[in-house]
Amino acid sequence: MPKTFIQSMALVALAFTLAAPASANLVLNGTFTSPAAPFNNTCSGSDCSFSTGTSITDWTISGSGGTGLFQPGTTTTYYNSGPNGEANGSYVVAYSNGSMISQVITASVTGVYTFDVYIGGERNDAVPADGTADAVVTGGTSHTFDASGTTAAQGEFSLFTVTFDASAGNTIDIQLQSPGVQGDFGNVSLTASATPEPGFYGVVALGLSGLAFAVVRRRSAEKLGRS
C-alpha cells in the first residue's frame, strides 16, 4: 500500500481522535438518589413514600408550593414504570407543586450542550402534568432555552430536551418547575460536546488532500503499466 495513502489515513484518524466526545453527565444527583428513600411521608402502595420540608442534595429549592422527592412504590398506582422503563419501586423522581428546583453548572468547554429531562404525570391526577424545564445560560447576556417534548399520558414519563451553545465559563442554570398540576422530574442530564479547534479542520483537509493525491497517483501508475 502506498506510503502517502497510509500517512493520509493516519492524519484523518488523528483528527477525529482529537475531536472531543460528549462529556459525562454534568448534573449532580440527576437521578435524585440522595437523600435516599424511604422518605418522611408514606403514600398509597407498597414502599411508596415522599419527602416534604427537606432539601434535595445538590439542588436548590425556591418559591412557594410543595417540592420534594417521590418514590412511587412497587405498584402501578402512580406510574406504569420509571422514566427509562425502570421497575416501580426502583427509582426516585423530584416533584414540584409550584416551587422551582434548580442547579447551577459552570460550562467547562465551549461547545454544544444537550439538556434532557423526563417529565411525568401521575395516574391519579385529573389532568396531565404541566411541568417545565429550562436551561438559563448567562455569560454577559442571559438566554433561556426551553426543553420541549410531548406531554406524557397519565402514568407515563416523556423525554423533554433542548440543545444550545455555551462558552467555557458561562453559567447554566437548570430549572425544573410545575406551576399547576404536580409535575415529576427524573433522569436529568446535561452533556457537552466541545467545538473542534480550528486546526481540526486543517488536519482533516490535509489528510483528505493526501488521499486524493494517492488515488490519482495510483491510477496514473496503473495507466502507465497498461500502456
Q: In terms of domains, do 52 and 142 share one?
A: yes
Q: In terms of domains, do 202 and 186 share one?
A: no
Q: Can you give the CATH number for the domain in which 111 is found? A: 2.60.120.260
* Full-model pTM: 0.79
Q: In terms of domains, do 180 and 203 share one?
A: no
DSSP of 8-70, one letter per residue? HHHHHHHHHHHSPPPPPP-STTTT--SSPSS-SEE-SSTT-EE--S---TT-EEESSS-EEEE
**Mean pLDDT, rounded, for 164-173:** 97
pLDDT in tens, 23-73: 899 999 999 999 999 999 999 888 899 999 889 999 999 998 889 999 999
How does residue 8 score in pLDDT terms, banded at 50, 70 and 90? very low
* Domain boundaries, position 205: 1-19+196-227
Rounded distance between C-alpha atoms, residue 119 and residue 99, angstroms: 15
Cell 389532568, residue? 127
Comparison of pLDDT for 58 and 227, the residue scoring more:
58
pLDDT score of 207 more than 50: no
CB atoms within 10 A of CB 61: 17
Q: In terms of domains, do 116 and 227 share one?
A: no
DSSP class of residue 137?
Answer: E
The pLDDT of residue 44: 83
Rounded distance between C-alpha atoms, residue 89 and residue 6, angstroms: 55
Q: In terms of domains, do 132 and 189 share one?
A: yes
DSSP of 145-192, one letter per residue? EE-B-PPPPBTEEEEEEEEEEE-TT-EEEEEEE-SSS-EEEEEEEEEE
pLDDT score of 109 more than 80: yes
Q: In terms of domains, do 97 and 208 share one?
A: no
Q: Are 18 and 6 in contact (CB under 8 A)?
A: no
pLDDT in tens, 15-34: 344 445 678 999 999 999 99
Q: In terms of domains, do 184 and 106 share one?
A: yes
Q: In terms of domains, do 67 and 174 share one?
A: yes
Comparison of pLDDT for 99 and 140, the residue scoring more:
99
Q: In terms of domains, do 157 and 205 share one?
A: no
Q: In terms of domains, do 99 and 200 share one?
A: no
**Mean pLDDT, rounded, for 190-211:** 59
Q: In terms of domains, do 83 and 128 share one?
A: yes
Nearest CA-CA partner of 116 in 77, 174, 70, 36: 174
- Domains held by the chain: number: 2
Q: In terms of domains, do 218 and 160 share one?
A: no
